[in-house]
Each structure stands twice: as structure tokens, then as C-alpha cells.
Chain A
Amino acid sequence: MENDSPTHAQAIPVLRTFGVGDTGIKAIELMMADGLMSDRFVAVNSDAESLEKSAAGEKILLEDRRLRGLGSGGDPERGRQAAELKAEQFKALCEGVNVVFIVAGLGGGSGTGISPVVARIAKAAGALVLGFVTIPFDCEGDQRLFLAQHGLDDLKEIADGVICLPNQKVFNLIEQNTSAIDTFRIINRFLADGVQGVWRLLALKGLIQIHPEALLRLLHERHSECAFAVAQASGPDRAPRVVDKLLAHPLLDNGQALANSESVLISLTAGAQLTMAEVKSVMEQIKTQCHSAQVLMGAAIDERFDDRLAVTVITAQKLDQEPAPRTTQTLDTQLLERTHTAKPNSRFLPPAPALAPEKMQQMFARQNGGRSAQRRASLKMRQGQLPLEIVSKGRFDKSEPTIHKGEDLDVPTYIRRGVPLN
């Protein structure tokens, strides 16, 4: 496949994973529980208690006078400031590392504030930075969503690739009466699986190895939207079953994400008895789902897998247009996002608003009050776009859709196959 490693066999890259905030730490705990080496993990939080419980090799407690080890109080700015104070420590941890994973839950204070700082420092130290983040449930309130969206934008701007898991999508996956604790456990599991999938891809001795550069190229378009899914199966017919599981995966929207993607990364991991026929069958089945995409694949052997076969799929879909630069928003929102003075490679640096200090005070005061209608509008503007042509389902409009391996069979065949009628 599109693998440029065979020409010059290179050493396995050094990876490091930062679990940022409570969600991030829980996710890396799961990974460590799965047997990945703990000295590769760094737990970062502003809450001393959650750090204490962590088994990570390195722990960084962010504290200052105001935080008192009690967390960031849901304010990303505090998290950011605290992280800046520990910049040296982050830098030391990023020295000589090829790939840095940042795992965080956005929407709170720590994850949202700290992640971009860590990303920036890691990037400056020469590492490839990949973010795996969650976005809060819709019901968690506009404020958290708003913060998360900003954190995500910041991270996207700095990191080489950001893979985002909206918690809302997990709703499709869980039973109606799953407890809240279990739901968050499932989300953490997803995050952990996602990171592990990419981790395995880069770290394990590959049959077909993926160079970090190739991964980077896939994710490099900063404004691409990523979806990922991991599925596992074991037994004699594991290859077809794992594909079925993938196509039914809610995070891939029943396979729709594959069909719409521009580039797809597929990573297979299995025990030593992985056969080429299995690799071929998995690849062929997935490829039929994404005709138009550029496919990048890797396969790795992990002795611990026995007869399990795990497939990780990351799809990247370029947005039709670059997101509108943030200047179009009102000054209020511009003030909310800091002026990043040291942001490298930023495509756009907003001019510092020349305002009198009193005026700024005034605006801050207004921000802390109720949310303005303008900001609400700016949130709406970022919602996903509808496809240009909506295929009406005619008489099946209201009936249960007939989904077969990710295809909606109610849509006329000639449209799905793209057969022109002229």
C-alpha cells in the first residue's frame, strides 16, 4: 500500500501518551490495564487526588495559588495558565519522542485548557502530535459545548491530527438503561481503543508498517474531520465478522462515514497466525465501502492477541470549505480565545484588538454574564453541512430504513452506484 518505509527500514518510533484531565487519565489507565508499558504514559491534571490514583509512569500536577490542587474549576484559562508554568517539565518529557498522543475530554477546565499547551510544547520539541478528545453530551449544556468547541479548534490548529469522539454518538451504542457511570466507562474505553489502535500501528513490529509520516499525511489537512472505530473478533470466521462489526459501528454512522471519507487508514492487529488471506479479505470488504477514498493500511503482529483480530479504522473527510476564520465573530468571542503569541504554523493570527482597558473589563464582565444571542448564532454556524442533494426515499420515507452493511437499500440503486442516466 502507500507505505514508504520499505525503502529505508527505520527504528520503531518513540511514543508518549499524555492523559490530560480526568477523562484523559481514566482512558490511559485503561490502556495501562491492557498491558501497555506505563513508563510511556504521562498523567497531567490539576487535581491532586486523581493523579495520586493513577499508575502512570510520569505525573504532572499543575497547581498554583488559585487552584490549590482542587482542579481547574471548569475554567480553561486557569488550566492554561497553570500548564504554562510547567512548560519546562513538559518539554523535558517530549525530548526525543517521535509521536505524542494527547488524550483528553474537552469541555471542562483541565482538558480544554491544558491540551493545547501540551500540544504546542510537544510540537516545538519536534514530535508529531495526535489528539484524541471527547466532546460533551448535548445535554451537558451549551457552555461546556462552547468551551469544548473552542478547545477543539485550538487543538486542531496546533496538533498534526485531532480525532474527536462526540459523546452524543455513543448514545446510539448503549442500551437505554445503561447507568451514567457505565456510559462514561464506555466512552473512556472508546478513547483508549482508539489510541491503542494507532499506537499498535506505529509501535508494533509491523508486517506492513505505517510510517508516522504517512499517518501524518492522512491527518495533515488540519481541517479534516476524523471518525474512528475499533472492532475485534476471534474464531475461525473472524475476518468477515470483524468487518461486519466495523460496518455496524455507530461511530462510523453505519458505514456512511466510510462512504463519505476521502482517506481511510486501516490497521490490523492479530496474533502470529494472521494469514494474508484474512488481511486481503478485510481490506477488500472495507474497500468496497469507500470507493473514492485513498486507503492506507498497516498490519502488525502482537503475540498477546492469540486468535483475536483487531481492526482500527480512521477515516478523514475534508470539509467542503475551510471553516470561517474567527474574525467574522464578534469581538466578544475573540476575547474569549486568548491571543496565542507563540502559536506556530497558525494560519491566521487575529490582530490584537486595540481597546482601552476599561472597555475590555466591560466586555469581560459581559462575557461572564448570560450568553449573548450573537454567540449562540456563532455556535450554530459551526454545525455540519447538509449534503447538496437530499435523496428522497419516497414511499419508504417513514418506514424503518433497510440498512445492509452500511448501505441504505431504500435509496435507488442507480443513485448509490452513481450510474448516470443520460
Chain B
Amino acid sequence: MFDSTSSIIVGLEIGTSKICAVVGDLSADGALNIVGLGQARSRGVRKGEISDASLCEEDVRHAIVEAEQMADVEIRSVYLGVTGSHVRGFNNRGVHPVVSADREISEADVQDVIKNAKTINLPAQNHVVHAIRQHFLVDGQDGITNPVGMLGARVEVDVHVIHGNLNRLQNAIRTVKGLQLEVDDIVFTGLASSLALLSNEQKELGSLVIDIGGGTTDYVVYANGIVKHTGVLAVGGDHVSNDLAYGLKVPLSRAEKLKIEHGSALVEEPDKGQTLTITNELGLPLKVINREHLRRIMSLRLEELFQLIAQDLEQSDALNYLRAPVFLCGGGARIPQIAKLGEQVLQMPVSLGKTNSISGLKSALDQPEFATAIGLVKFGSFQQRRRAARSSLTEGIKTTFGQLFKRT
């Protein structure tokens, strides 16, 4: 019944604030349909990385069970999202001389140059999560997507490499494996979010996706249809709550609630001098809080977050490639006025991302929090399609991320 050609694809995101499993059904004609969603409050994760494995395992089980019930399937394997401050991205170039007598670039040359680009001098404990092919150069001529059959003396390829600390990546994988689930692949969550939000046209135009999660903020820049830059900041909604708890002198749980109920990314005129009264469960007043302070603390933190991203993009020269708007997702995208704050800092149009090009549960797709998990399913569907295509041609050829990603 559940054979290896199962068309069920599951994306699992172990986030700092919630754990989310999304079940997608890939039909024979290649259309992706979301059929199930399970989520659980996350307790064992800090800054995107597991801090308490047993708690985390329990929460993952809840999310998976919920998703199984909703989709009415048995989940065997998942595409797992990974993030954390240790995850880094950079661009690398591989070079390969064409040695054949007629100078025609063959499939083998292309394989070799990609292999060269992936041999990066990384510390031993680091593991390459993705090596995404950008484009080829033949004798210095830029912008070639497929050099096979062209003539040239030298072929080069640019790849975007995303790597992380192997042990810390393994922590998440081990937790999932402890539940008798297979991990099809690990995917950088920022990349998954961008897959869910961006259409091919937007990738072509150049766009930035910022996923403001609970513990980390991931961002990905697409330009000319390829991944140009990725980054992770271990700052997220948790930091906002923590700042509020410290600044307003309230417990963390209360700070979290205040953030959701009264938070805003901007301090506006009417907020000045306004106060809020915190009441206990009986409705008796406990404490009076200045609303301006609340929003000032939030605004400063979020402003800094955008500034750090802007600085990083400026350094990597990625800002010049953006012609489509900036998209926000993750729980942080729910903060009122955050798009406006982002526009002020980044000097670009900012809008909230919508997950498109997937049909299915409408309620799930409209939420910015689920972008990553949906993106994971989408990543899985690309991989599945590619695998199906490959296995029909040449059995047993190992697929690599780079090739999988070429068309996305």
C-alpha cells in the first residue's frame, strides 16, 4: 500500500515557537495538493536549535499525529527544515578545463565542474546542506544555463553553498529518527519559505524573502532566477518577548501575550501617553503599562533586525538585484505595521508573502507561519518529480541537490 513511489510528501518544521507538519499529495500529473496539517507548541527549541531533545520529540510526535489524522495517511518520511545561527551561505566558483580535442563541452565536463565547485574548504565539522547551481561561464562568457554542446576551453560554474555544523544538524535529524520516521532530506528553512512564497517571475525579477520566526530570522535573495544570497540571524519573536519582559518588568508569558494583543512595529502619534492595564484572571487590575514603551521596545528590536539584514545585503552586493518587492513570512510577519517599518529601513516595497501555486486547505495556506512547512513540501515535490524522471531514464543515479534545484 505504501510503496516507495508514494505520492505523499510531508514537510516538518521544528520551529522555536511551534512544530508544524504539512502533508501534501502529489498527483500523477504533478499537481501538489495540501491535505493535512498538524502543529504543536514547541518547548524544547531555542533560537532554532533543539535544546531539550525529549520534550522536542514529544512535540514532534503530537504534530505528526495530528497531521496523520487530518490527512488520513501514515507518515513514513519527512522533509526536515533546519536553521540556526551556525547555518551560513556563500557563493563559490568551480573551474574545469575542457580537454577534449574538439573543445566541445560534454556532460562529463559539466559534472566535473560542478564537483569542483562543491569541493570547498570547510572545517571538518561542517556539512554542506545545499549546493545550488547558479549559472555557467564558458571562457569567461557569463549567464549560460546549459553549456553542454558548446565550444570552449574552460568552463566555470557558480554555486551557492549553504552549510552548517554537522552535529547541530544531526540533532534535529536524530530527534525525527527517534520517532521511527525517515528523513528524506534536510532543507534550509529560509529556502523553503522562499519556495512557498515566490513565483518564477518574482525569482527572475529579484526578490528578498525574510522569514521572521520565533528564534531565528532567515533570509534569502533571489536574482535572475537563482539563489544569490542566504543568511540566518539568531534573532526572532522570542527576542521581542524577552525585551518586553525585561523592559516592562512582566513575566515572559505575559510579555508574549502583550506582544500579540497590543504589539506594533511602529510607534505612532496616538500611542503617546496611552496606558494598558493588566488584569489577573478575576479581572482585577495588577499593573499599568505604558503602551508607548511597549511599542518603542518592539519597534527598536525589529528596526535593528531589518538594519542587520540590510547591512548584510549591502555588503554582499545583493541589494542591487532586487526589483520585485520584499516578502515577509513567519510569525513575525503578523506584527502590525511591520511591512511599513521594513519599507522605512530597507527603502523598498515590503509586503506580506502569500503561499501560491499550491492548492488545498485554504485556512492553512493563508497563514504566514506555515510558509516554511509548505515550502518543505514543495521542495519535496520537486525532488520527487526529478527522481521519477531520473529513475525512468537511468536507474540508480544519485540525485544531487544542485540538479534538483536548477529549475526551482
Interface residues of A (CB under 8 A from B): 240, 391-396, 399-400, 402, 404, 409-410, 412-415, 417, 419, 421
Question: Cβ of B51 < 8 Å from any Cβ of A?
Answer: yes
Contact between chains at A396 and B297 (CB < 8 Å): no
Question: Cβ of B301 < 8 Å from any Cβ of A?
Answer: yes
Contact between chains at A412 and B296 (CB < 8 Å): no
Q: With a CB–CB cut-off of 8 A, which chain A residues contact B234? A: 400, 402, 409
- Known pairs A392-B246, A394-B252, A409-B239; list 13 more (Cβ under 8 Å): A391-B246, A394-B245, A394-B246, A395-B238, A395-B241, A396-B239, A396-B242, A399-B51, A412-B247, A413-B300, A414-B297, A419-B296, A421-B296
Closest 4 CB pairs of A and B: A412-B243, A402-B234, A413-B300, A394-B242
Q: For the complex, give the distance between the alpha carbons of A417 and B301 in Å.
A: 10
- Per-residue 0/1 for B211-236: is the Cβ within 8 Å of any A Cβ (1 yes, 0 no)? 00000000000000000000001110
Contact between chains at A414 and B239 (CB < 8 Å): no
Contact between chains at A414 and B300 (CB < 8 Å): yes
Question: Cβ of B127 < 8 Å from any Cβ of A?
Answer: no
* Closest A residue, CB atoms, query B46: A399
Question: Cβ of B387 < 8 Å from any Cβ of A?
Answer: no
Question: Cβ of B41 < 8 Å from any Cβ of A?
Answer: no
Tell whether A412 pairs with B246 under 8 Å between CB atoms, given A404-B308, A417-B300.
Answer: yes
Question: Cβ of B293 < 8 Å from any Cβ of A?
Answer: yes
Q: For the complex, give the distance between the alpha carbons of A415 and B244 in Å.
A: 12
Q: What is the distance, in angstroms, from A411's C-beta to the closest C-beta of chain B?
A: 9
Q: With a CB–CB cut-off of 8 A, which chain B residues contact A414? A: 243, 247, 296-297, 300-301
* Closest B residue, CB atoms, query A396: B242
Q: For the complex, give the distance between the alpha carbons of A392 and B242 in Å.
A: 10
8 Å CB contact of A400 from B47, B239, B242, B303: B47
Q: With a CB–CB cut-off of 8 A, which chain A residues contact B290? A: 421
**How many A-B Cβ pairs are below 8 Å?**
66
Contact between chains at A400 and B252 (CB < 8 Å): no
Q: For the complex, give the distance between the alpha carbons of A149 and B252 in Å.
A: 45
Q: For the complex, give the distance between the alpha carbons of A305 and B40 in Å.
A: 59
* Interface range, B side: 20 to 34
Q: What is the distance, in angstroms, from B75's C-beta to the closest C-beta of chain A?
A: 30
Contact between chains at A240 and B315 (CB < 8 Å): yes
Q: What is the distance, in angstroms, from B305's C-beta to the closest C-beta of chain A?
A: 9
Q: What is the distance, in angstroms, from A403's C-beta to the closest C-beta of chain B?
A: 9
Interface residues of B (CB under 8 A from A): 46-47, 51, 85, 233-235, 238-239, 241-243, 245-247, 252, 290, 293, 296-297, 300-301, 303-304, 308, 315
Q: For the complex, give the distance between the alpha carbons of A419 and B252 in Å.
A: 21
Q: For the complex, give the distance between the alpha carbons of A211 and B62 in Å.
A: 70
Q: Can you report 26 A-B residue pairs in the complex whose CB atoms are below 8 A from each other? A: A395-B242, A395-B245, A396-B46, A396-B238, A396-B242, A399-B46, A399-B47, A399-B51, A400-B85, A402-B233, A402-B234, A404-B233, A404-B308, A409-B233, A409-B235, A410-B242, A412-B242, A412-B246, A412-B247, A412-B301, A413-B297, A413-B303, A414-B247, A414-B300, A414-B301, A415-B246
Q: For the complex, give the distance between the alpha carbons of A413 and B245 in Å.
A: 13
Q: What is the distance, in angstroms, from A258's C-beta to the closest C-beta of chain B?
A: 17
Contact between chains at B252 and A421 (CB < 8 Å): no
Q: With a CB–CB cut-off of 8 A, which chain A residues contact B243? A: 412-414
Q: What is the distance, in angstroms, from A92's C-beta to the closest C-beta of chain B?
A: 54
* Closest A residue, CB atoms, query B312: A404
* Closest B residue, CB atoms, query A416: B304
Q: With a CB–CB cut-off of 8 A, which chain B residues contact A402? A: 47, 85, 233-235
Q: With a CB–CB cut-off of 8 A, which chain B residues contact A240? A: 315
Q: For the complex, give the distance between the alpha carbons of A402 and B315 in Å.
A: 20
8 Å CB contact of A412 from B252, B297, B303: B297
Q: For the complex, give the distance between the alpha carbons of A421 and B294 in Å.
A: 10
Q: With a CB–CB cut-off of 8 A, which chain A residues contact B246? A: 391-392, 394, 412, 415
Q: With a CB–CB cut-off of 8 A, which chain B residues contact A400? A: 47, 85, 234
Q: With a CB–CB cut-off of 8 A, which chain A residues contact B293? A: 421
Contact between chains at A410 and B296 (CB < 8 Å): no
* Closest A residue, CB atoms, query B300: A413
Q: With a CB–CB cut-off of 8 A, which chain A residues contact B252? A: 394-395
* Closest B residue, CB atoms, query A402: B234
Q: With a CB–CB cut-off of 8 A, which chain A residues contact B308? A: 404
Q: With a CB–CB cut-off of 8 A, which chain A residues contact B304? A: 409, 413
- Greatest chain A CB density within 10 A among B293, B297, B303 is at B297
Q: What is the distance, in angstroms, from A409's C-beta to the closest C-beta of chain B?
A: 5
Q: With a CB–CB cut-off of 8 A, which chain B residues contact A417? A: 300
Q: For the complex, give the distance between the alpha carbons of A395 and B234 in Å.
A: 14
* Closest B residue, CB atoms, query A395: B242
Q: With a CB–CB cut-off of 8 A, which chain A residues contact B85? A: 400, 402
Q: What is the distance, in angstroms, from B159's C-beta to the closest C-beta of chain A?
A: 20
Q: What is the distance, in angstroms, from A353's C-beta to the closest C-beta of chain B?
A: 52
Contact between chains at B239 and A410 (CB < 8 Å): yes
Q: What is the distance, in angstroms, from A414's C-beta to the closest C-beta of chain B?
A: 5
Q: With a CB–CB cut-off of 8 A, which chain A residues contact B238? A: 395-396
